[in-house]
Amino acid sequence: MSSPPKRSAFEMAFYISVCAGMAMGTSSFLIVAGAFEALSAGFVLLAIVAAMTFCVLISSPIAEMAAMFPSSPGVRTYVRQAYGDRVSLFVVFLYLLFVVVAAGAEAYMFGYVVRAIVPQIGMWVAALALIALVAGVNWLGVTPSRRTQILTTAILSLGVLAFGGGALVSGVTSASAPAAATLSTGEQLAALPTVMGICVFLFIGFEWVTPLGFGPDAYARKIPLAMPAGIGLNGLLYLVFVAGIAQVMSPAEISATPAPQLPLARKLLGDAGLGAALALCVFATTSTFNAGVMGGARLVYALARERRLPAWCAYFHAERGVPRGAIALLAALCAVSTAIIIAWDVQLAAACLASTLICTVYAALMASARKLRQTQAKRRRSFRARFGETPMLVLAILVFGLGLASIGAEPRQTLEVAAATAACGLAAVALARWSLGLSGKSGKAAPAKASPAEDSATT
């Protein structure tokens, strides 16, 4: 049965807002600043277009797997169906590590912006208050409605567009010389893959829409279309923002701060612009952070329900339908990650690490899509990607390569990022092994036993 046009448009708007809103965080501006360290504006624009194209291509096989396993917990199911439990758990733990690292970078940026505008509020206070607020709101089961999600993304998009577009038409120009122009075209071309790698960070999270289909029909057209539409919308906004900021500020000025939107706002609107920048930051961070914590919590809860994590991770408040154990775990891990990033001031390195982790996960998803074309060729798919197995393999290799390249995006901390990447890989292997041992047998849930979740239903 087809849905009425009005409901259908609302549904599509919701999916696009999830894809776009999830990726548009305050740390996105940190990536823009990082990109200007190595490249001039033209090359930064090129890197964004290339990363956007990659993400659009990647979204298609993901949509195909979502159509095969609608409403499933995404990456866990897809990789498990393709490569079995062990590999799937490894990838899922990489994914969760990515969430924790990206959340830490986002909380850092939130703290940085708040401190820059309201110096009385310390960075630690702002960042940790953000985590406590988002965790508390989720703990109580207060979830934004679908309409709110659409509205928030619309406001956020208009805000970024206003900053970028305003800069383009403002007539304000940079006084200082563009630092990256001192690099030759050849040097910038050599740095391009690295910057493309971290620019993938600008679009991450588009795949979080896959378990959110309103009904089975959503997986045939709407979700497969919403992902590239959301990526395209974000791409357009970033392109306008980068073109605008490059008009008003030099690459040296942009890369001198992790939050280049602040000096931009001041140049365009004076002190009043800082208020607008703060509002933009609050919208961007709370929506991204909330979606990240909640999405990650659902994944932790699903793992705990299949006895791949301790039972307390499946503790939930039954009346409110809230997975409290998973929320508490993720909030605690995000707080630790934030503390490390603030203490060592490694925000750009954290973003590079997050890019590397998510590119690895995307590579695993591409490989899984290819494998499922071979092993489950006859399984019903309401959507099928328009390219074959070889392009999927090529995409897997390329996106993995981009992930490796983004390790070097922060030249001052390349070794540290490489070490952190290796540590995350080893941690994911260890967690997968430990997790497999929890249920006692591979591939099946352990026999039922009393769970804290059941207790919670009675309290």
Nearer to another protein, 9 or 318 (CB): 318
Q: Is 440 in the site for another protein (CB under 8 A)?
A: no
Q: Is 73 in the site for another protein (CB under 8 A)?
A: yes
Q: Is 302 in the site for another protein (CB under 8 A)?
A: yes
Q: Is 316 in the site for another protein (CB under 8 A)?
A: yes
Q: How far is the CB of 80 from another protein (least distance, A)?
A: 7
Q: Which window, 116-124, 255-263, 386-394, 449-457, contacts another protein (CB under 8 A)?
A: 449-457
Q: Is 3 in the site for another protein (CB under 8 A)?
A: no
CA 331 vs. chain centroid, Å, equals 16
Q: Hey, which residues between 83 and 112 contact another protein (CB under 8 A)?
A: none
Q: Is 81 in the site for another protein (CB under 8 A)?
A: yes
Nearer to another protein, 327 or 349 (CB): 327
Handedness of CA 319, 322, 324, 326 (dihedral sign): positive
- DSSP H helical ranges for 306-407: 324-344, 347-375, 389-405
Q: How far is the CB of 22 from another protein (least distance, A)?
A: 14
Q: Is 416 in the site for another protein (CB under 8 A)?
A: no
CB 405 within 8 A of CB 197: yes
Q: Which window, 174-182, 269-277, 319-327, 430-438, contacts another protein (CB under 8 A)?
A: 319-327
Q: Is 332 in the site for another protein (CB under 8 A)?
A: no
Q: Is 70 in the site for another protein (CB under 8 A)?
A: yes
Question: In the set 6, 378, 386, 449, which binds another protein (CB under 8 A)?
Answer: 449
Nearer to another protein, 41 or 218 (CB): 218
Nearer to another protein, 89 or 245 (CB): 89
CB 226 within 8 A of CB 15: yes
The crossing angle, in degrees rounded to 10, of helices 85-117 and 75-83 is 150
Q: Is 213 in the site for another protein (CB under 8 A)?
A: yes
Instruction: Look up residue 377 and give its DSSP letter.
Output: T
Q: How far is the CB of 3 from another protein (least distance, A)?
A: 12
CA–CA dist 226, 209 (Å, integer)? 9
Instruction: Look up residue 407 and give its DSSP letter.
Output: G
Question: In the set 136, 215, 437, 440, which binds another protein (CB under 8 A)?
Answer: 215
CB 356 within 8 A of CB 403: yes
Nearer to another protein, 45 or 87 (CB): 87
DSSP letter string, 77-99: HHHHHHH-HHHHHHHHHHHHHHH
Nearer to another protein, 119 or 447 (CB): 447
The two structure tokens encoding residue 233: 């919308």
Written in H, E and C, the secondary structure of 245-280 is HHHHCCHHHHHCCCCCHHHHHHHHHCHHHHHHHHHH
Q: How far is the CB of 156 from another protein (least distance, A)?
A: 22
CA–CA dist 153, 169 (Å, integer)? 24
SS3 label, residue 315: coil
CB 192 within 8 A of CB 46: yes
Binding mask 130-159 for another protein (x = CB under 8 A): -----------x-x----------------
Q: Is 301 in the site for another protein (CB under 8 A)?
A: yes
The two structure tokens encoding residue 299: 């994944």
Nearer to another protein, 76 or 373 (CB): 76
Q: Is 322 in the site for another protein (CB under 8 A)?
A: yes
Q: Which window, 208-216, 234-242, 250-258, 427-435, contacts another protein (CB under 8 A)?
A: 208-216
Which long-range CB contacts under 8 A does 326-330 form with residues at least 24 apart?
326/296, 326/297, 326/298, 326/299, 326/300, 326/301, 327/135, 327/138, 327/139, 327/293, 327/294, 327/297, 328/135, 328/139, 329/297, 329/300, 330/99, 330/100, 330/103, 330/135, 330/293, 330/296, 330/297, 330/300
Count the neighbouring beta carbons within 10 Å of the beta carbon of residue 272. Answer: 11
Nearer to another protein, 296 or 408 (CB): 296
Q: Is 294 in the site for another protein (CB under 8 A)?
A: yes
Distances (CA, A) of 360 to 92, 117, 204: 11, 36, 12
Q: Is 377 in the site for another protein (CB under 8 A)?
A: no
Nearer to another protein, 215 or 388 (CB): 215
Give the binding site for another protein (CB under 8 A): 68-73, 76-77, 80-81, 141, 143, 213-216, 218, 294, 298, 301-302, 305-306, 316, 318-323, 444-445, 448-451, 453-454, 457-458
